[in-house]
Amino acid sequence: MIKNGISVNGATLLMLGITFKENCPDVRNTKIVDVIAALTDYGITVTIYDPLADTAAVKKEYNLVTLNTIPNAKFDAIVLGVAHADFLDLDFSIFKNSNSILYDVKGVLGNGVDGRL
């Protein structure tokens, strides 16, 4: 983020996916919450989008708000955390600012990503 001129503290980030694994609605034992916690510790505002996750279960289990619909916003960073089939067809440019970055945690996007976590 810093290489792209994005200040980490105060940055906005879209986390794509919070479920335990791809194409599954189960949020128990998901490791994505650990990533989200680390990001928020750096002062990053994280928006979670997962069309498969039960928003009530995520709120109850982790006290996190999750969106089931595509957010109408731009973000400094987009992180593909769970490789749902729905995400593979997304046009990530709809979420990007002029200097946004795209991270691919699962390594499924191929070229066009700025990094892999």
pLDDT value, residue 30: 95
Q: Which long-range contacts (CB under 8 A, 24 or more apart) does 95-100 make?
A: 95/14, 95/71, 99/4, 99/5, 99/6, 100/4, 100/6, 100/74, 100/75, 100/76
Q: With a cut of 90, say whether residue 76 has pLDDT above it.
A: yes
17-69 pLDDT per residue, tens: 999 999 999 999 999 999 999 999 999 999 999 999 999 999 999 999 999 99
Pick the more confident residue, 92 or 18: 18
**Residue with token string 């731009």:** 74
Per-residue pLDDT averaged across 106-117, rounded?
71
Cα separation, 26 vs 24, whole angstroms: 6
- CATH number for the domain formed by residue range(s) 2-104: 3.40.50.720
